[in-house]
Amino acid sequence: MNGARKYAPTKFTVGQESKAGKLLEAIERRIQATASLGEAALGPFTVKRYLVRWIEDRRVRNVASAGDDEARLQRHALPELGELFLTEVRPSHIRTLVRSLKAKVGQGRAQLAPRTVRHVYGVLHRMFEDAVADELIESNPCSIKRGELPAKIDKDPTWRSGAVFTREEVEQLISDERIPEDRRVFYSIAFLGGLRTGEVSALRFRAYDASLEPLGKLLVAASFDTRTRLEKSVKTGQPREVPIHPTLARVLAAWKLGGWERTMARPPRPDDVLVPKQDGRNRDAHSSLLVPP
């Protein structure tokens, strides 16, 4: 029947016409919502079919995580939920899925990290929230008890203690002349300004103000996303002013007075990317990685 579905008789009895009327209204709203999405001929949405449309919409809206979200749900949620109609999914289904994923945490080659389980649940929650907004379901079935999700720990809890740069390593990365000048400038901003990689990539010359005393400033208002190739707002959503460390001030002054022009073969303009790739565009994560000299 191409996904079409017949609704079974309700258990309402004479005297419960009001409740039956409310149910009928809810069913009609779902039918109308499905029609408004251009899918009426296929009948009510299954989780699998709605996921396809949901991911398409997220890509249209340039949601950076759309690809990762799709992969997580395809791999970890659809095997158990995919064939269910959206209206059939209950909190018990979500709870069973979470428990089955938790059972795989730390087990052999197929082990999952606790964060993966939390990510899968989080994406499911967002998807069902959008299904509520689309009026395809009345409420979000992603409602589980406190403690059901695993704690936020890494697959290898010990790696973070060593994932730091020493002072000597930072000094080498920003001053060793065997490292190309543009990379040294990039690393200087990241380390001495405390900026994320995407934030450094999105900086333009107009964001650099060296005239203030005693320290100049960088206005951090955007971040470059490697996956979408677009600039977006910073992670917190709020632009911030970053004071320029004296060492960073010297690096940026030399870069503005001559380094940028040596790299790009022309003087910089206010709208130019502060530390661009050779073609003048934003650096992505792949062209910003730390490399040994």
pLDDT tens digits, 13-32: 666 667 666 655 666 666 66
pLDDT tens by residue, 121-135? 999 999 999 999 998
Judged by average pLDDT, the poorest of 16-20, 99-103, 176-180, 275-279 is 16-20
Per-residue pLDDT band at 235 (split at 50, 70, 90): confident
Q: Are residues 30 and 119 in the same domain?
A: yes
- pLDDT higher than 50, residue 136: yes
DSSP state of 207: G
- pLDDT higher than 50, residue 1: no
- pLDDT higher than 50, residue 2: no
User: Domain range for residue 203?
Assistant: 166-287
Residue 216 lies in a domain: yes
Q: How many domains does the chain have?
A: 2
255 touches 188 (CB < 8 A): no
- CA separation for the pair 45, 48 (Å, rounded): 8
Q: What is the pLDDT of residue 163?
A: 78
Measured over the CA atoms of residue 242, residue 248, residue 249 and residue 253, the dihedral's sign is: negative
- Most confident among 23-27, 156-160, 206-210 (mean pLDDT): 206-210
Q: What is the pLDDT of residue 65?
A: 86
Residue 154 lies in a domain: no
The last residue of one of the domains, among 112, 133, 154, is 133
The last residue of one of the domains, among 77, 111, 133, is 133
Q: What is the pLDDT of residue 154?
A: 67
Q: Are residues 170 and 282 in the same domain?
A: yes
Judged by average pLDDT, the poorest of 28-32, 74-78, 262-266 is 28-32
Q: Are residues 190 and 251 in the same domain?
A: yes
Q: Are residues 26 and 109 in the same domain?
A: yes
Residue 121 lies in a domain: yes
Residue 128 lies in a domain: yes
- CA separation for the pair 8, 116 (Å, rounded): 38
Query: Is 0.75 surpassed by the pTM of this model?
Result: no
Beta strands in 150-274 (DSSP E): 208-209, 217-220, 223-225, 230-232, 240-243
- pLDDT higher than 60, residue 6: no
Judged by average pLDDT, the poorest of 93-97, 151-155, 179-183 is 151-155
User: What Å distances lie between residue 12 and 8, 87, 121, 138, 147, CA to CA?
Assistant: 12, 19, 35, 19, 37
Q: Are residues 119 and 47 in the same domain?
A: yes
Q: What percent of the chain has pLDDT over 70?
A: 81
Residue 225 lies in a domain: yes
DSSP state of 245: P
Query: Can you give the CATH number for the domain in which 32 is found?
Result: 1.10.150.130
- CA separation for the pair 170, 173 (Å, rounded): 5
Q: What is the pLDDT of residue 10?
A: 63
Residue 2 lies in a domain: no
The last residue of one of the domains, among 88, 118, 133, is 133
Query: Can you give the CATH number for the domain in which 194 is found?
Result: 1.10.443.10
